Amino acid sequence: MAKYQGSCHCGSIAFELEGEIGQVIDCNCSMCRRRGALLAAFPREALTLTTPVENLSTYRFNREAIDHHFCARCGIAPFSEGKGRDGAAMTMVNVRCLPDVDLASLEVLAVDGASH
């Protein structure tokens, strides 16, 4: 199983991620379109925060079902947390925050989040 190190730009939010990156999502909802994230879904336990939880700033909107975490210092949003359709805790990781990932090699799926 692959292991990745990820962070925001300034390093105030850093994490380890264990799992395989298959398809990534390019969503056009109001949030994703503005931040330009490429997202990969993982079970929440695949992500381990390596910096203090107090470094996370969180934004919720719409139904407030997803915790969109970002760094108040540099503004980068490395991951979000919520529940999958099955009710299990999950995280959506912005693969642009994983420096060892070759973005050009990823299969990108366009998702019409704006219509939902």
Checking if the pLDDT of 116 tops 80, the result is: no
CATH code of the domain containing 73 = 2.170.150.70
Please list, in sequence order, all residues whose beta carbon lies within 8 angstroms of the beta carbon of residue 91, skipping any fewer than 6 positions away.
41, 42, 43, 44, 46, 47, 79, 80, 81
Residue 59, in any domain of the structure: yes
Joined together, the tokens standing for residue 97 give 């925050």
85-98 tens-digit pLDDT: 899 999 999 999 99
Work out how many domains the chain is built from and give that number: 1
Residue 106, in any domain of the structure: yes
Closest CA to 8 of 77, 56, 59: 77
Residue 116, in any domain of the structure: no
Checking if the pLDDT of 8 tops 80, the result is: yes
Please list, in sequence order, all residues whose beta carbon lies within 8 angstroms of the beta carbon of residue 96, skipping any fewer than 6 positions away.
36, 37, 38, 103
67-86 tens-digit pLDDT: 999 999 999 999 999 998 89
9-49 tens-digit pLDDT: 999 999 999 999 989 999 998 888 898 999 999 999 999 99
- Look up the domain containing 31 and give its range: 3-111
Amino acid identity of 72?
A: A
Checking if the pLDDT of 62 tops 80, the result is: no
